[in-house]
Amino acid sequence: MQLELHQLELRYEGIRKRAPVTERALVGSLAEIGQQLPILVVSEAERFILIDGYKRVRALKRLARDTVRATGWQLPEVEALLLERRMRCASEDAFDQAWLLAELRNRFGLSLEELARRFERNKSWVSRRLGLIQVLPTAIQDSVRAGTLAAHAAMKYLVPLARANAAAAMQLATAITPLKPTSREIGALYAGWQSGTARTRELILASPQVYLQAQATQEPAAPSATQRWLNDLGALGGIARRARRPLEQGLLQQLLKVERTEVEQAVARSKADVESLFRRFDREAGDAG
């Protein structure tokens, strides 16, 4: 069916993240080939509540269009929301889920038990996501929605900081959001904030880009003894897998007698070295001291 844009109730626009690059591409696509997918709505009186298609509606408005092609679901509003989110569950991050859970709880009064049942999860899963909304300042959530702050980075770095010091999280987010930093850059700034002096924190707040550039020019730290040992184990496993492939392809059957003797001697030496390593590991691992 065709609907006029003014008939739409954009009730859930606030719980959808924006992706400016994607939306610019969508505007171009709609201008060139028109609307290919209908939006999803449920009806309420003479209005239609938009369930899915917020990016398409914004793009059509930018193109000064008046109508949109829509599909109506004959479902209660809450059921339509849950079904739509279940269909896109694999592509959602925890923030998307948190915003929807909070909306369902506030608008429809669903309990933690009911939300867990509807999402086929446990109460702990629901509580952790609602905790994102409760812990992170609203301004940071708005930056995530607007697409200027990566949701994964906000969840990984700013949520723990906000739990310890909400004001510090707000200061850091305010300083870095204009840069539209990557998750890796936010991680570096967060690490510098956590381990740095007061002067370092002042630099991060005043000039986060300068701090990142300074970090990039520093010599990488030498790996620890533990990391070197783990790297050696990884190399050992990789070499073993690579050396096994010729055996699986029948290498031994192709060898001359003198070559086979040489290979058997090399295998015996390698086996003794590896077994010695594992014996030592077992002995050290079993030593309480």
Read off the pLDDT of residues 141-179 as tens digits, 9 standing for 90 and up.
Answer: 998 888 888 888 888 899 888 988 899 899 999 999 888
Most confident residue range from 53-62, 125-134, 218-227: 53-62
Mean pLDDT taken over the chain:
87
Angle between helices 198-206 and 166-176 (to 10 degrees): 40
In the chain, where the domains are located:
1-88, 136-217
Task: Among 62-76, 146-160, 213-227, name the one with the lowest average pLDDT.
Answer: 213-227
Question: Which residue has 């030498």 as its token pair?
Answer: 222
Contact 16/98 with Cβ under 8 angstroms? no
Give the separation between CA 16 and CA 18, rounded to whole angstroms: 6
Sheet holding 8-9, edge to edge: 2-4, 67-72, 39-44, 47-52, 8-9
Most confident residue range from 31-45, 56-70, 89-103: 56-70
Contact 193/201 with Cβ under 8 angstroms? yes
Give the separation between CA 213 and CA 216, rounded to whole angstroms: 5
Give the separation between CA 164 and CA 281, rounded to whole angstroms: 40
The predicted structure's pLDDT at residue 14: 83
Give the separation between CA 204 and CA 212, rounded to whole angstroms: 9
Contact 144/151 with Cβ under 8 angstroms? yes
Q: DSSP secondary-structure letter at 6?
A: G
Domain 1-88 sits in CATH 3.30.210.10 = no
Structure tokens at 21: 């690059």
pLDDT surpasses 80 at 221 = no
The predicted structure's pLDDT at residue 36: 87
Give the separation between CA 149 and CA 163, rounded to whole angstroms: 18
Query: Burial letters for 170-187: b for 16+ Cβ neighbours within 10 Å, e otherwise?
Result: bbbbebbbeeebebebbe
Residues 6+ apart with CB under 8 A from 172: 158, 161, 189, 190, 193, 204, 205
Contact 200/168 with Cβ under 8 angstroms? no
The predicted structure's pLDDT at residue 132: 85
Give the separation between CA 95 and CA 147, rounded to whole angstroms: 12
User: Where is 110: in which H helix or E strand?
Assistant: none
Give the separation between CA 177 and CA 172, rounded to whole angstroms: 8
Question: Which residue has 């510098």 as its token pair?
Answer: 192
Task: Among 29-33, 168-172, 190-194, 283-287, name the one with the lowest average pLDDT.
Answer: 283-287
Give the separation between CA 113 and CA 125, rounded to whole angstroms: 11
Task: Among 135-139, 218-222, 246-250, name the one with the lowest average pLDDT.
Answer: 218-222
Phi, psi of 39, rounded to the nearest 5 degrees: -80, 165
User: Where is 47: in which H helix or E strand?
Assistant: strand 47-52
pLDDT surpasses 80 at 136 = yes
The predicted structure's pLDDT at residue 219: 58
Neighbours of 15 (CB within 10 A): 19
Task: Among 3-7, 63-67, 91-95, 242-246, name the one with the lowest average pLDDT.
Answer: 91-95
- % of the chain surpassing 70 pLDDT: 96
Q: Which amino acid is at 101?
A: L
pLDDT surpasses 80 at 223 = no
The predicted structure's pLDDT at residue 250: 82
Phi, psi of 175, rounded to the nearest 5 degrees: -70, -35
Task: For residue 91, name the pLDDT band (cuts at 50, 70, 90).
Answer: low
